Amino acid sequence: MGHPLGRWQQILASALAEHSAVGVRAVVEAHMGREAARSERESYRRAAYLLSAAAGQRLCTWRCHLRPTAKGGTFLVVVRPDLDVLAWPDEASLQAIGTKPLPLARLSREALLSVVASLRTAAARLDHVEVDTIDIETAGQALDAIAEPLRRLNGLQRVLTLRRELGKKSR
């Protein structure tokens, strides 16, 4: 029987739902809004390893020097298991992912419920759309207009699915 996700694991799982690879330190420090203390760095690194074991995420570690005059460091990057092997980040990408924070969406319960209600309303209106009568230009414009929202909804679906599945394992 698994355990519920800890604080750092929840933060990393949310980031992985939005991005295919995330730098552990960058994500957590962006969440905290400051540089992490040594004990915090150890906690979130341990959380990344535990999340990897529980959810099948891939972990990459590498050493790099951020500036020519600075000491190097070991950075940890977590990669979603569905990332194609050919799409794996190269060394330069790993450094960018590991050191630059990614923007994270923080949905409150109320915001999430509002999104779900809007989706249900939009889905109900689909019954009134007669696709056969739509001209090609309008179809193309509609397709372009919905591409980004659908990509974002897919990310939301992944994070909610991950939270549900990891919650089931913890029971």
> How many domains does one find in the chain?
1
Radius of gyration of the chain from its Cα atoms, rounded to whole angstroms: 20
> What average pLDDT does the segment 53-58 reach?
74
- Residues in the chain, total: 171
Contact of 24 with 45, CB cutoff 8 Å: yes
Q: Using pLDDT thresholds of 50, 70 and 90, give the confidence band for residue 1.
A: very low
Phi and psi at 6, nearest 5°, equal: -80, 175
Contact of 14 with 47, CB cutoff 8 Å: no
Q: Using pLDDT thresholds of 50, 70 and 90, give the confidence band for residue 104.
A: very low
Q: Which domain holds residue 53?
A: 1-171
Contact of 95 with 23, CB cutoff 8 Å: no
pLDDT of 155 strictly over 50:
yes
Which of 129 and 1 is assigned the larger pLDDT? 129
pTM confidence score: 0.51
> What average pLDDT does the segment 144-157 reach?
85
